[in-house]
Chain A
Amino acid sequence: MSLLAVTHLASASAWAVYAVGALMALAGAAGVVLQRNPVHCALALVTTIFGIALLFIDQGADFLAAVQVIVYAGAIVILFLFVIMLLGVDRKEQRAPEKLKGLIPVAVLVGVVALAELLVLVRVHYWATGSKAGAGALNGPGENVQKLGQSIFTAYLLPFEMTSALLVIAVVAAVVLVRRPSPAPPGPERRTVVGGREPARSGPAPAKATVAERSAPTGRGSGASSGAEQSGPTGEVVR
């Protein structure tokens, strides 16, 4: 029995599901914004994510609901918590006085106005053109996962490949970003002339390493900082 059948519940229960999902989402959102402790904010975010997942299921996006929970709640928020714990941000309250006075009221005003306009737009939704994307119909024969997979791997193949590349790049970027610059190696042959070459080193001349070059998980790598002599052919310590 597909989850689609679940959607044919009686009105009351449909409303109940909606209400629960909406409540969870809103409560979580409020919590993210209002909680002092960042860890509490992260947990509130999880609540929001669960609520959204519920609403996804309610609308027949089963796969997406699952992915939402697994990826968002299971990975992203965990990552947030890792960083929070790592940096110890939760211990310090934000005691610094507000430097930008008047920002909060204006911000609230902006948010309220934006919200109001969005609601108005929701009401006057004449601009829905109804033209079909090339992905196919939502309803119809087949499971949701099957249809979704078919559309991704045929109609949206290019975006799929690009996003996979993006993921790889993101990993590399993360590694690069948090790397500390390595200290200068002490050595008798070391010249004090900046910019001069060290002739004893027979390794390859320090060249500008590209990110792709460094993606190979070797302990060796030439200094990526162009021209900086202190990054000799020593192993980088990746933190």
Chain B
Amino acid sequence: MVNAAYAIVAFPLLGFIINLVSGRRLGEPAAGWVGTVAAGGSFVSTLIVWVTMLGRPADNRFADLTIFTWFPVAGLHVNAGILVDPLSMTMALFVTGVSTAIHMYSIGYMHRDPGFDRFFVYLNLFLFSMIVLVLADNFLFSFLGWEGVGFCSYGLVGFWFQRQTAAVAAKKAFVTNRVGDVGFLLAMFLMFAHFGSLNYSSVLGTLSHGHATGLLVAAPGAIKGTTATAITLLLFLGAVGKSAQIPLYIWLPDAMEGPTPISALIHAATMVTAGVYLMVRVAPLLHYAHATSWVIACVGAATALLAATIACSQDDIKKALAYSTISQLGYMFLAVGAGDYVDGVFHMLTHAFFKALLFLAAGAVIHALADHQNMKEMGGLRKYLPITAVTFGVGWLAISGIPPLAGFWSKDAVLSSAWQMNKVLWVIGVFTAGLTAYYMSRQFALVFTGQARWEEARPAAVASHEQHEAEGHDAVEGHEATGPGLPAPAHAEARPKDPTWTMSVPLIVLAIAAVLGGGINFPAWHMDYLTRFLSPLFPAGTSVTISTGTKWALSLLTTAVALTGLGLGLSTWRTAEHPRLEPNFLRRAWYFDALVSATVSGPLRLAASGLAFVMDRKVVDGLVNGTARALGASGRALRHLQNGYVRTYALGIGVGLVVLLAYLTFRVGN
């Protein structure tokens, strides 16, 4: 039943259209359920296709379906087609799965928001675009999805567009993405120039042994190193923009202006992983471009470290998680750069689970505290939000790399491949792991343990609790009618409580996934399912080959570092005031934004004003006005020929006579 793959694409598109046309009429919560059912249908279809694939032998898990011919232009034939292969199935599985969970979560989270239907319209459109991105069988169709998710990100980050900061953040996200997209486009041009086509089978498949099924195994001599380096570097530029690596990560922290489900879905689990997916997809090309692999690994490691340092001093609960996302994405790229594509995908999977979990739990906290996001004004919430605290705790341990949760296995695998590639990178990775544990523990401590600082910040909350109990009004719902940051209506201030079932169930599901996720690629007892599933795709000789003893030693060391960080974080942050640990340059993210403003927008503004005031006013207007002035001046000059004096006219005749005679003389003389 491979044809179910069409349904994977069709379901979210259908949901999008239904909500677009009649979302307002459907209203809450029907529009939300439409979206969730669409996402769920997509997930079920993916499962069907996946099971079908599993039924086939390992080297034949491949199908290429064409939806329609997009454009056949001379020399370039582009289909809207679906490629079903292990990598795309893996991506589709977790994208649709996490999306379904978050769709359901959003029904509760966006309760009473006036833009409820619009939210689900965008959400389904986003899912559709992401599916297209991961399932496309050629670069151009994938680019369509790439741009689609960028657009949906813009629409959703700026969902509460009445807020100036949200609108600006949405614009920033989109524009920064576009900077990366230039790389993608140029890479496509190069690909077309070299291969004559943009299909995966043509570009990546020609690098195979010409296997009839088009599986991607590298063949020697099919492409020059410089071309491959150029293409992959340009693609990496696109990935840097989409996946928030240095230097194009500046949009992701600001994108936290969007609703928390969006942060969970787009900016943790799916859209930002598109860049990693892209680089994994072009693994055959990377085989020929070792320089690019080094670049990817170094950029990934540097980003991981930088973001982790910044996350240590953020006050906003979502911004801290945003920097954490950037850092973990750096890990994924580190793995990809080291050639260990499987573990890059593995970390992507586990990260999707625990980061989405963390975001959703943070959303529950924000919801409970009536849209207050400053961690310094939280504390001691585990008494009031037990489910949230437990799930957040699971996520915290997972991301810190504590065995036997999922994050430990994937991060360990990434670090092993880093050790194999370059010890310095490994050191950076381990240090970053320690920092990760530290700042996540800080976050947990600030939010859930210690003093209940939120009581001092808003003493009215406790007092109005009885009043709300009498009204039977659930404290969690009803305050997002105005959105975070806008003054919350007074009736919403109440004792924090755990969220409704639509929001809790996804939390629990994701927590379970975060605990058991290590089983996807357990390095022992033949449970390395993911490796075996994906291995036909990747060129031989890229797996990690270090001895088991070394691996255990490294794991122990990493775990020790993580535990140290964890302990430090927990103990230090029982109280909330440690100004020396939060220097200004970290709070301001190493002043990178200011740097970008100075170096990019400063010269751009200069160039724009130069063009406007110099080029436009002086040159263009000068040309036009100057022509008019020149004509006037020539008229005024020529006017002196008609001065009314007969003698000058006679002189003119005389001159004409001279000319005529000259002509006669010299003509006759010849």
Are A and B genuine complex partners?
Answer: yes
State the A residues within 8 Å of B (CB): 99-100, 103, 106-107, 110-111, 113-114, 117-118, 120-121, 124, 126-127
Cβ-defined contact, B645 with A121, below 8 A: no
Residue of B nearest to A120 (CB): B665
Given contacts A100-B647, A110-B658, A111-B654, contact A117 B665 (CB under 8 A): yes
Q: In the assembled complex, how far is the CB of residue A94 from the closest CB belonging to chain B, in whole angstroms? A: 13
Q: In the assembled complex, how far is the CB of residue B666 from the closest CB belonging to chain A, in whole angstroms? A: 9
Q: In the assembled complex, how far is the CB of residue B669 from the closest CB belonging to chain A, in whole angstroms? A: 6
Q: Which residues of A contact B625 (CB under 8 A)?
A: none
Q: Which residues of A contact B654 (CB under 8 A)?
A: 107, 110-111, 114
Residue of A nearest to B664 (CB): A121
A106 to B661, CA, bound (A): 17
Q: In the assembled complex, how far is the CB of residue B667 from the closest CB belonging to chain A, in whole angstroms? A: 9
Cβ-defined contact, B661 with A99, below 8 A: no
Q: Which residues of B contact A118 (CB under 8 A)?
A: 661
Known: A121-B661, A121-B668, A127-B664. 16 other contacts (CB 8 A): A99-B645, A100-B645, A103-B651, A106-B651, A107-B654, A110-B651, A110-B655, A110-B657, A111-B654, A114-B657, A117-B658, A117-B662, A117-B664, A117-B665, A121-B665, A127-B668
Pick the residue among A100, A103, A114 that contacts B658 (CB under 8 A).
A114
Q: Which residues of B contact A110 (CB under 8 A)?
A: 651, 654-655, 657-658
Q: Which residues of A contact B661 (CB under 8 A)?
A: 114, 117-118, 121
B648 within 8 A of A: yes
Q: Which residues of A contact B665 (CB under 8 A)?
A: 117, 120-121, 124
Chain B positions 632 through 670: 1 when the CB is less than 8 Å from some CB of chain A, otherwise 0: 000000000000010110010011011001101100110
Q: Which residues of B contact A126 (CB under 8 A)?
A: 668
Q: Which residues of B contact A106 (CB under 8 A)?
A: 651
Q: Which residues of B contact A103 (CB under 8 A)?
A: 647-648, 651
Q: In the assembled complex, how far is the CB of residue B461 from the closest CB belonging to chain A, in whole angstroms? A: 100
Q: Which residues of A contact B648 (CB under 8 A)?
A: 100, 103
Q: Which residues of B contact A124 (CB under 8 A)?
A: 665, 668-669
5 A–B pairs (Cβ distance < 8 Å), ordered by A: A100-B645, A103-B651, A110-B655, A110-B658, A114-B661
Q: Which residues of B contact A117 (CB under 8 A)?
A: 658, 661-662, 664-665
Q: In the assembled complex, how far is the CB of residue A107 from the closest CB belonging to chain B, in whole angstroms? A: 6
A118 to B660, CA, bound (A): 11
A120 to B664, CA, bound (A): 10
Residue of A nearest to B652 (CB): A110
How would you classify the secondary structure of chain A's contact residues: helix, strand, loop or mixed? Answer: helix
A126 to B661, CA, bound (A): 15
Residue of A nearest to B667 (CB): A127
A213 to B655, CA, bound (A): 43
Given contacts A99-B645, A114-B658, A121-B661, contact A107 B668 (CB under 8 A): no
Q: Which residues of A contact B647 (CB under 8 A)?
A: 100, 103
- How many residues belonging to B are interface residues under a CB distance threshold of 8 Å? 14
Q: Which residues of A contact B657 (CB under 8 A)?
A: 110, 114
Q: In the assembled complex, how far is the CB of residue A19 from the closest CB belonging to chain B, in whole angstroms? A: 27
Counting residue pairs across A and B whose Cβ atoms lie within 8 Å, the total is 39
Q: In the assembled complex, how far is the CB of residue B443 from the closest CB belonging to chain A, in whole angstroms? A: 94
Residue of A nearest to B654 (CB): A110
A195 to B39, CA, bound (A): 97
Q: Which residues of A contact B662 (CB under 8 A)?
A: 117
Interface residues of B in 543-571 (CB under 8 A from A): none
Q: In the assembled complex, how far is the CB of residue B78 from the closest CB belonging to chain A, in whole angstroms? A: 76
Q: Which residues of B contact A107 (CB under 8 A)?
A: 651, 654
A120 to B647, CA, bound (A): 27
Q: Which 10 A-B pairs have the closest CB atoms?
A: A117-B661, A110-B654, A120-B665, A113-B658, A114-B658, A117-B665, A124-B668, A121-B665, A114-B657, A127-B668
Q: Which residues of A contact B645 (CB under 8 A)?
A: 99-100
A111 to B658, CA, bound (A): 8
A110 to B665, CA, bound (A): 16
Q: In the assembled complex, how far is the CB of residue A129 from the closest CB belonging to chain B, in whole angstroms? A: 13
A107 to B650, CA, bound (A): 9
Q: In the assembled complex, how far is the CB of residue A119 from the closest CB belonging to chain B, in whole angstroms? A: 10
A62 to B669, CA, bound (A): 36
Q: Which residues of A contact B658 (CB under 8 A)?
A: 110, 113-114, 117
Q: Which residues of B contact A120 (CB under 8 A)?
A: 665, 669
Interface residues of B in 413-458 (CB under 8 A from A): none
Q: Which residues of B contact A99 (CB under 8 A)?
A: 645
Q: Which residues of A contact B655 (CB under 8 A)?
A: 110
A107 to B654, CA, bound (A): 8
Q: Which residues of A contact B651 (CB under 8 A)?
A: 103, 106-107, 110
Q: Give the residue among A100, A113, A117 with the most B Cβ atoms within 10 A.
A: A117
A118 to B668, CA, bound (A): 12
Chain B positions 312 through 353: 1 when the CB is less than 8 Å from some CB of chain A, otherwise 0: 000000000000000000000000000000000000000000
A41 to B662, CA, bound (A): 32
Residue of B nearest to A111 (CB): B654
Q: In the assembled complex, how far is the CB of residue B652 from the closest CB belonging to chain A, in whole angstroms? A: 10
A100 to B648, CA, bound (A): 8
Residue of A nearest to B661 (CB): A117
Residue of B nearest to A124 (CB): B668
A110 to B654, CA, bound (A): 7
Q: In the assembled complex, how far is the CB of residue B645 from the closest CB belonging to chain A, in whole angstroms? A: 6
Q: Which residues of B contact A121 (CB under 8 A)?
A: 661, 664-665, 668
A99 to B648, CA, bound (A): 11
Q: In the assembled complex, how far is the CB of residue A216 from the closest CB belonging to chain B, in whole angstroms? A: 36
Residue of A nearest to B662 (CB): A117
A46 to B448, CA, bound (A): 131
A117 to B660, CA, bound (A): 10
Q: In the assembled complex, how far is the CB of residue A128 from the closest CB belonging to chain B, in whole angstroms? A: 11
Interface residues of B in 363-394 (CB under 8 A from A): none
A100 to B655, CA, bound (A): 17
A121 to B651, CA, bound (A): 22
A118 to B661, CA, bound (A): 7
Q: In the assembled complex, how far is the CB of residue A197 from the closest CB belonging to chain B, in whole angstroms? A: 40
Residue of A nearest to B660 (CB): A117
Q: Give the residue among B647, B648, B661 with the most A Cβ atoms within 10 A.
A: B661
Q: In the assembled complex, how far is the CB of residue A98 from the closest CB belonging to chain B, in whole angstroms? A: 10
Q: In the assembled complex, how far is the CB of residue B657 from the closest CB belonging to chain A, in whole angstroms? A: 6
A117 to B662, CA, bound (A): 6
A121 to B661, CA, bound (A): 8
Q: Which residues of B contact A113 (CB under 8 A)?
A: 658
Q: In the assembled complex, how far is the CB of residue B649 from the closest CB belonging to chain A, in whole angstroms? A: 11
A124 to B669, CA, bound (A): 7
A7 to B546, CA, bound (A): 134
Residue of B nearest to A99 (CB): B645
A118 to B658, CA, bound (A): 9
A124 to B667, CA, bound (A): 11
A113 to B657, CA, bound (A): 10
Q: In the assembled complex, how far is the CB of residue A118 from the closest CB belonging to chain B, in whole angstroms? A: 7
Residue of A nearest to B663 (CB): A117
Q: Which residues of B contact A114 (CB under 8 A)?
A: 654, 657-658, 661
A121 to B664, CA, bound (A): 8
A127 to B654, CA, bound (A): 23
Q: In the assembled complex, how far is the CB of residue B578 from the closest CB belonging to chain A, in whole angstroms? A: 94
Q: Which residues of A contact B664 (CB under 8 A)?
A: 117, 121, 127
A117 to B655, CA, bound (A): 12
Q: In the assembled complex, how far is the CB of residue B274 from the closest CB belonging to chain A, in whole angstroms? A: 82
A114 to B663, CA, bound (A): 12
A52 to B661, CA, bound (A): 25
Q: In the assembled complex, how far is the CB of residue B437 from the closest CB belonging to chain A, in whole angstroms? A: 98
Chain B positions 172 through 202: 1 when the CB is less than 8 Å from some CB of chain A, otherwise 0: 0000000000000000000000000000000
A165 to B669, CA, bound (A): 42
A215 to B655, CA, bound (A): 41
A113 to B654, CA, bound (A): 10
A127 to B668, CA, bound (A): 7
Q: In the assembled complex, how far is the CB of residue B483 from the closest CB belonging to chain A, in whole angstroms? A: 85
Q: Which residues of A contact B669 (CB under 8 A)?
A: 120, 124
A121 to B645, CA, bound (A): 31
Q: In the assembled complex, how far is the CB of residue A111 from the closest CB belonging to chain B, in whole angstroms? A: 7
A127 to B666, CA, bound (A): 12
